[in-house]
Chain A
Amino acid sequence: MTRGAWFSVFMGAGCLSAAILVALAFPETRNKAARDESTRDDDDGDQPENSPSLRLFRCAGLRAWSKLALKHATTSVRSYFWDDKRLGLLLFSLIFTSLGKFISVILMQYTTKRFHWSWSEVRRPMSDMPIFRDEPVAKYPRRLYYRQSALL
């Protein structure tokens, strides 16, 4: 049954609203003792209004605060990338993976060009993977179904 393009937009908006409600209802899972400990140790932690950097910003102004922020950033970069090479390498690999995962953006365009599917046909395999379904082929574009049935 065809319902038009707006139906999927409203469905998406409805699901997103439900997800927000569920997320808002999540209970606090972090141990309170651990949280208190981390706010004592960590100046960029959970209570920004009490952080030393914000106190400095209020007292000494933007220039001193910028110097402190730059110093903090330099220390962090050195700490993550130089002092712990293993951590630095893993962080560096994130550049490649975000580059690689960007392919989903042109996937539909590629499929329409290469296999001459229509845009509505393309949406199905992108959003509805058949790994846990019993009837994958019948749900897919006619072209695929025909090709598979020709093999039988």
Chain B
Amino acid sequence: MNLALVAALLPLVSQLLLLKLGLSPLVKDLFFVRASILVLTIGALGIGLAQNSFALVASLMVFALGYGYSPAMRSLLALLAGHRSIGTLFTAMSVLETTGTLVAGPLMAYTFRTGLAWGESWTGLPFITASILLSCAAVIVFSIRLQN
């Protein structure tokens, strides 16, 4: 699905936004980032709250639709940074992502253990936590306003 998304769906929507709707690359990337973070948040919450296999698979599909978040975010940041050194920007991004990953491992393990201790219906606690964290990012992304 990721292949279909990256090879077909995202380029198609991208061309549609650029050529048909006449959006600028900056606005188009912001649109992708907002849409992706929204589906990532909803997908993670759905996985955490899924009561049966069908709900789980549906939520996984929604979550997988947010696969385009990282490329769109990189493109948006590069466009916003403008003429400033892109190498330093990408280094800063890698540092922040690595910081997040360093915290994520113990945090997810802790929430998973806590969820298991609370009972079977709380097994999805790490996904609910992830959804809360992603919604923090969503608040930031949706608060960004582009100047004309």
Same complex for A and B? Answer yes
Q: Are B40 and A100 in contact (CB under 8 A)?
A: yes
Q: How far is the CA of A77 from the CA of B85 in the complex (A)?
A: 12
Please tell me if the beta carbons of A90 and B141 are within 8 angstroms of each other in the complex: yes
Q: Which of A89, A100, A113, A132 contacts B143 (CB 8 A)?
A: A89
A100 close to B133 (CB less than 8 A): yes
The binding surface of chain B is classed by DSSP as: helix
Of B76, B84, B105, B141, which is within 8 A of A79 by CB? B84
Is A109 an interface residue when CB atoms closer than 8 A count as contact? Answer: yes
B123 touching A84 by the CB < 8 A rule?
A: no
In order of increasing CB-CB distance, the 3 nearest A-B pairs are A98-B100, A129-B1, A102-B104
Q: Which residue of B lies closest to A79 (CB)?
A: B84
Interface residue ranges of B92-148 to A (CB < 8 Å): 92-93, 96-101, 103-105, 107-109, 112, 116, 120, 123-124, 126-127, 130-131, 133-134, 136-137, 140-141, 143-145
* Known contacts A80-B92, A129-B64, A131-B61; is-contact A140 B53 (Cβ 8 Å): yes
List 10 additional contacts besides A92-B96, A92-B140, A106-B108; criterion CB under 8 Å.
A93-B136, A95-B100, A96-B137, A97-B40, A103-B47, A115-B56, A125-B60, A129-B1, A131-B61, A136-B57
The answer to whether A98 and B141 touch across the interface, beta carbons within 8 angstroms, is no
**Chain A 124-150 per-residue mask, 1 if CB under 8 angstroms from chain B, else 0:** 011011111000100011011001100
Question: Would you call B56 and A105 a contact (CB within 8 A)?
Answer: no
6 contacts between A and B (CB under 8 A): A80-B84, A95-B103, A96-B136, A97-B40, A99-B133, A105-B108
